[in-house]
Structure formats: structure tokens, C-alpha cells
Amino acid sequence: MGQETFHPPHDLTEGIGSPDDLGDRYRLLAELSPDGLVVHQGGLIVYANRAGLALVAARDAALVLDQSITTFVHPDDIGQMLARIKKLEQPGAVSEPAEIRLVALDGSISVVESTSVRTTWQGRPAMQVILRDLRDFKAAETALLHQAALAAMSANVSEGIIAVDRLGLVTSWNPAAEAIYGLSSAEAAGRPVGPLLGPLPPVGQSREVQHQRGDRQVVTVRVSVSQLRDAHDQCTGAVIVCSDRTAQLRAEQQYAMVVASLEEGIVVTGATGVIESANPSAERLLGQGRNRLVGSVLDRLPMWAEDGTPFTGGNRLNGVAFGRTVQDMVVGMHGKYGEPLWLSVSAQPMVDPGEPPYPVVLSFTDITKRRIAAALLLHDATHDPLTSLANRSVIVRALDDGLAGLQRDEDGLTVVFIDLDHFKAVNDSLGHGIGDEVLRLVAERLRLAAGPHDVVGRLGGDEFIVVSRTTSDVVAATALAARLRSALDEPFRIVDRLLVVGASAGVVVAGRQVGNTAEDLLRDADVAMYQAKEHGRGRHELFDAELRAGAVRRLRLGEDLRMALYTNQFWVAHQPVIEVRSGRVVSTEALLRWDHPDLGSVSPAEFIPVAEESGLILALGLRVLEEACVQTVAWRSAHPRLRDLTVAVNLSARQLADPYLVREVEAVLRRTGLPAGALWFEITESMLMADTDSSVRVLQELRGCGIQLSIDDFGTGYSSLAYLRRFAVDALKIDRSFIMSMQDDAEDAVIVGTVLTLAHGLGLRVVAEGVELQEQLDMLTELGCDEVQGYLTGRPGRAADVLPILLGTPNAAA
Ligand code: C2E
Ligand code: CA
Ligand code: CA
């Protein structure tokens, strides 16, 4: 195309002397011609150039020379060829070019454009045929068509498609290429592709190439090159396909960075469980470097399950490869320094379109801290914070388990209730800090003294419980109690002091009878412990039939109390209090009485604690107060001698804690008309010891009203006189136990004398309780006691019965 047709001279041998000259000059030109040149004379071929030989696939001129020209023309085209030649009469006449088909020696057919020229060959007429191979034109035609199709196609694809010619100049540059390289097709056209795209991969391969664009943006482009070849297998150029991987690479990098920076460990295993990748957190958590991790099998790492058994989760993980997921499986392992490490593992298959097993993604989170916190929480919820012993809920659970075991005929069940004997004294005299230390040491000793499977707990205060399921008979239970107690008998060394605390214990050996509850056992053990205290402390008591009867009676009293309140089974007895100096009754103490319809007279010493437990003491106490006031006002107004009579009413701890107490007392005084100064409240030492802010405030308020306070049963508690100074009280009542034996026991007499001296030193009046003998009264008179109260000077009784004593005319009543 575009190539000028070669026109040979009219006579190819013109001006040439010899045929050999011809050969030299014509051949020289003819052999260079890209067109086939064939000369035939009389129909026989006399010359064919190299291109002509090639057209008929003749390797050698000898195969063609002297052959008829028709041998090589398709039979259907011979006629038209001969007709055209005939027309060429004049030498130099040239035919119209016509397409004919050549039949090559190998039988293949090709289409050529043939032009015939009448000429002479060595002086004789001849025909020269110029054969132009049309395959190139056909190919070019097709190429044009293809190029159009390519342009249409490449306009709409996301890949950049760039065509270059043989010299590497851009001939086509699609819109995607414009976008990738930031260069319009007009700008790119005709420019060498190398500088535009950078280094290209070898033909047939693809490569990722970093490329800085004109706008300085760096793009990563995957480039592949394929060569274009023409019909002769000559390279005519190349097509370069490029795809922009920048965004995807950036996303991949970001993803990798995110995974790398995750707190969570991420491991990807292949379908067979071999670790293929691991992020830094996974390396840290699993304590293995990447090199050790990648290529190894997760199962082989030393791990254990939550219960401490070797890790068998591998099977579960294997299941993941078949499409299951695993959520929050807990796995334990050793940390870098051998410390326990707990991981929560979740696993998910990377389900791909293929068949299972699939690759698996595992994520690990370190839950060690969380587990420790949870364990601490659990410990806090189940343990006494001071001693770390089991708390009440754990004790109750141990008892429930024990009771259930008994029903299954397993084991035994023994409960030991331990209460320290002299803890209050330690706490009050040495402070809570030392008190807490004693409790801690007690806990430690009990733990050592108890059996390895026994539950040792603290109920609160100085009350401890030991639950033993290996102790099933009375002998063993008593031995256990003795062992626990003697562990506490030895003095405690705290800083530079030796403290003797001691303990009383109650023991219950649970029987197999149904219906016992944990609370029943605790109550029974408590009852037995109280019994031990009553029997003089520092001992243990077994809960037995008698105690059970006592407990049953307490239960019954508790149930009957409320009814008793509404059916007036209660009444108030009055006991005279005599002033030693004048011998006159100056006061009475109101003492509650209960005439039970079945049980007869029940002692307040027995039912007051029960009423305290149920809270009924509040109503009952008010009832006593009201009646005491009414009676005292009546006596005061009826008898001039009793004008200044005062009355003492016992106050229980529960009442003192009642926020309405002061208001109610004031109301009673108003209602009855008794002056506040005529009312005494008796409180026990232990109530003072409780020392809660609110009870101290209530006592101050009562005193502010003008009411006087005395300490009841003085000497049985552990308060010192110095301690009493802190509380504003007006009088002391020395406990009956000191008075009872003072005439026989010199030591008791000394104690009474000392108390009197010290109390007077503090400006307190002193009342001696339980004076039964004249001897006692004489000694008390000698010691300067202010007042006495006892059977000697008047038993508690009904108002009418007591009145003669109050008036100083007991004989009149008799
Ligand atoms: P308490 O306050 O120490 O009362 C004195 C107790 O000693 C009374 O016993 C009284 O009857 C008894 N008693 C008096 N003189 C003698 C004596 O010479 N020899 C002997 N052996 N005993 C004597 P009671 O009435 O049985 O009261 C026992 C305890 O019950 C009282 O001890 C008091 O703590 C409590 N109580 C009685 N009534 C009430 C009350 O109304 N409210 C409260 N909260 N407690 C009360
Ligand atoms: Ca009293
Ligand atoms: Ca008393």
C-alpha cells in the first residue's frame, strides 16, 4: 500500500549487450522487488524472481523454469488471464491489474493481483507478470476492522488498553489509560510508550509497576504486554493492558496494618490446620515468634482447657474447617514468664466457593485480667473480707450440700459454732485495729485446726463456723470442737502483747431425719454455744434433746408473744429501791411479767431476748413504760410520802436503736404527767459497748429531756469505769452476782468496794442489786452504797402488794 508499482523498461534487455548483462542488471533489481516477477515466453516461464518463487512455494528456480505459466494459475482463472494478455498487442502495453488465484507447488492457493506487461526477453516477445501478494492488504483490511472493534471495546473497559506500533509509538490510548496515567489520548498519541509507562515486562508476562504521574501521584499499575504480529509473523506492534491496583493495594496495606495493630491476636490456618499467617498480637499472646508460628499446627502449642485438662479443642477447631464456628472458647496457657494466661478463642471458616475443609481465621483475646477480676469478685462475694474465710452464703451452701449428702447416706455432717469469749474486752480496750488482727489470727488457727475438707467460715463479729462432712459421730464431733477451741486457748501475740481470747463452742451432729435446714443447724449450734457460755465459757456443748427442747420452747414463746400482747397476758411488777442512808423507798424498778396460759409464769430473762428477736420488744417496752409512769404518778399524787418517788424502766438494745424512741418517750411523759426527772432508764454495759453513733445520740437526747440513766448489771460486761466517763450516766447498778457472795468472798467484797469508790469519784450514784441478806446490807452500808434493791427490802410485785413497802409500813400489808 502506498508503494509505487515497479515498472520495468519496455525491453528488459534493451541496451544490454549480452544476456548475461541482463541477468546482472535486471536480476539485481528484480530480486529486490517485494512483488513477484515472472517472465514467460510462449507460455513457458523463463524467469521468476525470489518473491515470485515464494508465491508458488518453490524453493528452487529449476522447479519453475520451462514450466507452463498455467501450471500455477487456478484453472478457473486461466481463461481471463489469457484473454487479458491477448489484448496487449503493443510492446510495453500494460494490462489492468486483476485478481487471480495461484496454485503453489504444495497445492496451497493464494490470491494475488496480477498485472501483465508485454515486453521482450532476449529480443523475442515475452510477457512479464507482476504478482502482488494480496495477503498483506487483506490483513491490513482485517486489521482496520479489528482496530475499530478494539477501540469500541477498549472505550468501555476498566483496564487501560494501549496499542503501540512496531517502533513503540502510541497508536491507541483508551479512556481507562487516560484515567490511570492522567494523560489524554491526544497527549499520548505518537509518543514513545517507554517513558510514558516506565519499564515494561517481557512480552507475555505481567508485572506491577510503580509509576509517578505528571501530577506527582504515584500509582501502582499491573501491566501486561502482548505483541501484535502480521500475516508473516512480523512484529507490527504491541497491545499493553494495564490495571490500576493502587486503591486495592492501599486497602490491602491498610487492612494488613489494621490486623497488625489489633489488640486481638489473629491467626489464619490453611484447611489442614497449619498456620499460614499471624499478626503481632498473636505472636505475643501465643508467646511464639512468627517463624515458629507460621507453618506449625495450632493444636501442638501447649494449652489447656478451662478446667485445667489438656486442650482438646483441636477437634472443635477442626470442625470449623467444615463450616462451624467457635465462639469464646477459653484456653489456658503459660505466659512468657510461666504465669497463667487465659485466652478467649473464636474461630470462623473462610468459606469460599470450593468444598470444605476451608481455611480458618482464629482470633484470640487475652482474658486473664478479666478472669482474675471475676475470680476476685467471686471471692469477695463468698468470703469474709477481713479473714478471707467463707461467708454466710458459702457456709449455708456447705450445710445444704452436707444435708443432701446425708440423705444419700454419704458422709456425716457436723457443725461447730465458735464464739470468742473475751473478744469484746480486747476490741473495747485495745481498739478495732487490734480486734481485727485477733480475728485474722483466730481465722488462721481455726483453718489449721480444722480438717482439710472442712469449711471454715465467719458469720460476723466474733462468731465462726466449722462445717465438717468427715465427722459423723458425737465422739469425733466433740474431739473436733475440743481441737478448735484449744487452738484458740493459746495466747495471741500481737505486737508486744499476749492476749488471751478463748472461745465457747456449740456442736451439732446432724441426724438423718428429713426436714432439717441449714438455718436449723446454725440455730441449734448457736443454742449449744450459748449453753456453753452459760456454763461458764471456755467450753463446748453438744446440742442435745434438752437444748432442742429449749430451742423448741423459744420458738413457741416467739410465736405466742404477739397473741400475749393483745390478750393482756402481760403485767408490770414493781420492786422497791431503798435509799441506804434514810432507809426509805426512793424508787421502784418496773419489771415485766408474762402469765402464759399453758406455761404459767415465764421469766423476762427468757422471753425478753425472744421479743427482741421479733421486734415485739418495741411495743412491749412502751407498754411497760406507760404503765410504770401511770403507776408512779398515781403513787406520787396519792401519797405525800411518795411525792418524789422515781421509777426505773429497763431499756433494750433494740429500743435504743429505734429512731422514734425519744419522741415516744416524750409523748408518754406528757400523757401521764410524770416529770422527766422522775424517770430512770436502765441500760446494760453491752448496749453502751455497741457504741453506735445513733445510740449515743439517743442517750444524749434522752438525758437532754431530763431523764436519768443507769448502767444495769454492772460488772458482767467488760467496760471499765474509765470508759463510762465517756458516757453521761447518772448511776451504776452493781450486778447481783457480786452482791450474792460478797459476805463469803473477800475478793467480791473488794470489787464492790472499789466500784463504789471509783463510781463516787465519777459522781455516780451506786445501787446494789439482789440484796437478800442483812449481812450484805450491812456491808453495803459500811461501804457507803447509795441504794439497795433485793428480796431483803422488797420482792417485785403488783402495785397494791408493793404499796405498804413504799409507805414504809410493810407489816401493815402482812
Ligand atoms: P434486771 O434488770 O437486772 O432486773 C432485776 C432482776 O433481778 C429481776 O428479775 C428481779 O426480779 C431480780 N431480783 C431482784 N432482787 C432479787 C434478789 O434479791 N434475788 C434474786 N435472785 N433476784 C432478784 P426479772 O424480773 O426476772 O427480770 C430479769 C431481767 O429481765 C431483768 O433483769 C431485765 O434485764 C429484764 N427485764 C425485766 N423487765 C423488763 C422490761 O420491762 N424491759 C426490758 N427491756 N427488760 C426487762
Ligand atoms: Ca434492771
Ligand atoms: Ca440488773
Q: What is the tens place of the pLDDT at every residue in 615-651?
A: 999 999 999 999 999 999 999 999 999 999 999 999 9
- Please measure the distance between the N-terminal and C-terminal CA atoms of the chain and give it in whole angstroms: 164
How far away, in angstroms, is 22 Cα from ligand 2 center?
163
DSSP one-letter code for 244: E
* In the predicted structure, residue 141 carries a pLDDT above the cut 60: yes
Query: How far apart are the C-alpha atoms of 659 and 694, rounded to whole Å?
Result: 8
Q: Ligand 1: does its nearest atom lie under 6 Å from the Cβ of 773?
A: no
% helix, strand, coil for the chain, step of 5:
45, 25, 30
435-444 in b/e form (b: 16+ CB < 10 A) is bebbbbbbbe
Beta-carbon contacts of residue 468 (< 8 Å; ≥ 6 apart): 412, 413, 414, 415, 416, 450, 451, 453, 454, 455, 477, 480
750 phi and psi angles, rounded to 5 deg: -65, -40
Q: Ligand 1: does its nearest atom lie under 6 Å from the Cβ of 772?
A: yes
- For residue 577, which ligand has an atom nearest its CA? 1
Quick one: pLDDT band at residue 86, thresholds 50, 70, 90?
A: confident
* In the predicted structure, residue 655 carries a pLDDT above the cut 90: yes
Q: Are 291 and 283 in contact (CB under 8 A)?
A: no
Give me the pLDDT at residue 397, please. 93
Q: Ligand 1: does its nearest atom lie under 6 Å from the Cβ of 230?
A: no
How far away, in angstroms, is 464 Cα from ligand 1 center?
31
Pocket test of ligand 1: the residue of 591, 613, 681 to mutate, having most ligand atoms within 8 Å of its CB, is: 591
Q: Ligand 1: does its nearest atom lie under 6 Å from the Cβ of 605?
A: yes
- The atom of ligand 1 lying closest to the CA of 771 is 18
Q: Which of 14-28, 466-480, 550-564 has the lowest mean pLDDT?
A: 14-28
Give me the pLDDT at residue 313, please. 56
Quick one: pLDDT band at residue 24, thresholds 50, 70, 90?
A: low
Quick one: pLDDT band at residue 299, thresholds 50, 70, 90?
A: low
Quick one: pLDDT band at residue 308, thresholds 50, 70, 90?
A: low
DSSP one-letter code for 324: -
Q: Ligand 1: does its nearest atom lie under 6 Å from the Cβ of 387?
A: no
Give me the pLDDT at residue 457, please. 96
Query: How far apart are the C-alpha atoms of 174 and 150, rounded to whole Å?
Result: 10
DSSP one-letter code for 56: T
Give me the pLDDT at residue 526, please. 92
319 phi and psi angles, rounded to 5 deg: -60, -30
Q: Ligand 1: does its nearest atom lie under 6 Å from the Cβ of 713?
A: yes
Q: Which of 240-244, 735-739, 791-795 has the lowest mean pLDDT?
A: 240-244
Q: Ligand 1: does its nearest atom lie under 6 Å from the Cβ of 626?
A: no
615 phi and psi angles, rounded to 5 deg: 90, -5
Give me the pLDDT at residue 692, please. 64
Give me the pLDDT at residue 208, please. 87
SS3 633: helix
How far away, in angstroms, is 655 Cα from ligand 2 center?
15
How far away, in angstroms, is 583 Cα from ligand 1 center?
22
- The atom of ligand 1 lying closest to the CA of 769 is 15
Q: Ligand 1: does its nearest atom lie under 6 Å from the Cβ of 715?
A: no
Give me the pLDDT at residue 311, please. 64
Q: Ligand 1: does its nearest atom lie under 6 Å from the Cβ of 619?
A: no
Pocket test of ligand 1: the residue of 618, 627, 650, 741 to mutate, having most ligand atoms within 8 Å of its CB, is: 650
Mean pLDDT across 219-247: 85
How far away, in angstroms, is 812 Cα from ligand 2 center?
28
Check residues 228 and 421 and name the one with the higher pLDDT.
421
For residue 244, the cross-strand partners are: 221
Query: Average pLDDT, whole number, for the chain?
Result: 86
* In the predicted structure, residue 167 carries a pLDDT above the cut 50: yes
Q: Ligand 1: does its nearest atom lie under 6 Å from the Cβ of 608?
A: yes
Grid cell of 91 as nine digits: 510492446
Quick one: pLDDT band at residue 17, thresholds 50, 70, 90?
A: very low
Q: Ligand 1: does its nearest atom lie under 6 Å from the Cβ of 160?
A: no
**Helix, strand counts (H, E) of the chain:** 30, 32
Query: How far apart are the C-alpha atoms of 173 and 154, rounded to whole Å?
Result: 9
Percent of the chain with pLDDT over 90: 37
800 phi and psi angles, rounded to 5 deg: -60, -35
Dihedral sign for Cα atoms in the order 438, 439, 440, 446: positive
Quick one: pLDDT band at residue 429, thresholds 50, 70, 90?
A: confident
